[in-house]
Each structure stands twice: as C-alpha cells, then as structure tokens.
Amino acid sequence: MPVIRSPKDFWAGLIYLAVGLFALYVAQDYAMGSAVRMGPGYFPKVLGSLLALIGLIALVRGLLRPGEAIGRLAWRETLIVLGATMLFGLLLRGGGLVLSLVVLVVASAYASRRFKLKPAVLLAAGLAAFCVLVFIKGLGIPLALLGRWF
C-alpha cells in the first residue's frame, strides 16, 4: 500500500479526478463535434478530461513528494462564501446584476480574516463593470443591470 506523503495534494487530486471522471461519464453519449463546430459533449468532455488529468497529477504528487497535512476545515469561511453565492442567486432577478455582484464580492471578501471594506467595494465595482461590459454589452445576455426593485 503506497504511503500518502502529501495529504493535501492527494485528497485534492482525488476530488479533481472524481469530478473529471463524473463529467466524462455524464457526457459520454453527447456528440463531440469538432473545435470549429462544437457539439454538446465537446466542453464537458474536454473540461472533464483536463480536470481528471490535473487530479491524477496531483494524486501522484501526493504519493511522491512530501507536503503539508490537511488543516482544519474553515467552517465559518465556507458558510460565508456559500451564503454569499446563495444571496447572489436570490438577488439577481429582483436587484439586478450590479447589486447581486456587489453583495457577492463584499460578502465573500468578509470571509477573509484580512477583510477591509474599501478594497472589497472597489473590487466589487470593478467586477460589476467588467461583467456588465462582457456579459450584457459584449455577449448580449439578457440580464438586468438593475432589477425590478429599482
């Protein structure tokens, strides 16, 4: 039985490998297409393959190289980020893309022990502007800048 020398790499690799293989399993009956004319299976198969490959590399690395042990699970931080993501989904329709992104970024940043409000708000404003330009203006995705509450 091989000895796990880097538990962090080993378990992260195992998770990546499992998710990648699951994506490949789900997409196995989807048509692949080509790089020029992508079918419905192209993206999940390519992404699943890359994720599985990265996972396999990390898993092997965890067996060969010494590394860090797994620390405590950051429950508080995990719950804050999950809550912020849920808030984004709940606010998107009523508050619009801008408000939802600002809440998502500021609330997620709050999970950090080095949280400072001003940099978080600046990052949120920049991300909101970028997303408006790319998704609404550039790609034409029908998302409201400000939702029906405004």
* pLDDT tens, residue by residue, 61-97: 999 988 888 888 899 999 999 999 999 999 999 999 9
Residue labelled with tokens 């042990």: 69
- Where are the domains positioned within the chain? 7-64, 75-138
pLDDT for residue 1: 65
Amino acid at 50: L
Three-class secondary structure assignment of 24-65:
HHHCCCCCCECCCCECCCHHHHHHHHHHHHHHHHHHHHHHHC
pLDDT for residue 76: 95
Q: Which residues contact 115 (CB under 8 A, 6 or more apart)?
A: 109
- The continuous run of DSSP H or E covering 109 comes out as helix 75-109
User: Cα separation of 10 and 7, whole Å?
Assistant: 5
In a 3-state reduction of DSSP, which class is residue 146? coil
Q: Which residues contact 31 (CB under 8 A, 6 or more apart)?
A: 39, 40, 41
- 7-26 and 42-64 helices cross at what angle (nearest 10)? 160
Parts of the chain with a pLDDT under 70: 1
User: Cα separation of 87 and 57, whole Å?
Assistant: 35
pTM: 0.66
Residue labelled with tokens 């020398």: 5
